[in-house]
Amino acid sequence: MAMSVGEISDEAPMSEINVIPLVDIMLVLLIIFLITVPVVLETVNLKLPDVPFEPTTTKPENVNISVRSADTDGDGQPNADSASCEVYWGRTPVDSRQLLERGQKKLEDLIEKIGGVQNITEENFPEVHIRGDVNTPYQCIGGVIYTMQYAGFQKIGFISEPAPGSATLGRL
């Protein structure tokens, strides 16, 4: 915004531009870019997989757990009480104590079956496969992960539904 003091002539155009606001804005933008660019450029070098997902190998000793938010309305949306979760071991509903006990019992039975801890390998060690409903709060899924890790399981994975027309069709 320019301001002229003195006489204004209709014949001569005003040739002065107030550049102070423009300089102020440019300096602020320069400072913002100087601060944010190094943060954006600092990354860890990773080689990510080329496939969108990996098909699950189902073994009979794997544990299948389903988690969803308790829904009393029947409309598929979570309750106002987001702390209520329904956890199923297979098709059996369990609470967190029962989940821990079943997990520990499963591993104890495995160790007894294979003849001791020294015989455990990656191939015969069961995995936990968690299927979480899309409307389930993170605390429900996180509680199941924590409980199963506390029980002694090392591999915990998530079962998801692939997008229609995903890349797995080309690998068949």
d(CA 58, CA 110): 17
Q: Within a domain: residue 44?
A: no
Q: Is 93 a member of any domain?
A: yes
Under 8 Å between Cβ of 2 and 14 = yes
Read off the amino acid at residue 108: E
How many CB atoms neighbour CB 130 within 10 A?
18
Q: What is the residue-level pLDDT of the chain in tens, covering all 172 positions? A: 555 555 666 677 777 888 888 999 999 999 888 887 766 555 545 454 454 566 666 777 788 888 888 764 555 555 554 458 889 988 888 999 999 999 999 999 988 888 888 888 888 888 898 888 877 888 888 999 999 999 999 888 887 666 566 555 444 4
Location of structure tokens 């709060």: 137
Q: What is the pLDDT of residue 55?
A: 65
Q: How many domains is the chain partitioned into structurally?
A: 1
Closest to 129 (Cα-Cα) out of 79, 54, 78, 69: 54
- What's the pLDDT score for residue 172? 41
100 found inside a domain: yes
Q: Does residue 152 form part of some domain? A: yes
- The verdict on residue 33 lying in a domain is no
Q: Considering the domain boundaries, does residue 96 fall inside one?
A: yes
- So what's the pLDDT on residue 118? 84
pTM: 0.58
Which residues, in sequence order, are CB contacts of 85 under 8 Å at separation 6+? 67, 68, 69, 70, 136, 137, 139, 140, 143
What range does the domain containing 79 cover?
A: 63-158
In a domain, 149, yes or no: yes
* pLDDT number for residue 46: 43
**Residue 122 covered by a domain:** yes
Looking at residue 163, the DSSP 8-state letter turns out to be P
Pairing of strands 85-89, 63-69: antiparallel
3-state class percentages of the chain: helix first, strand second, coil last, to nearest 5? 35, 15, 50
CATH number (domain holding residue 116)? 3.30.420.270
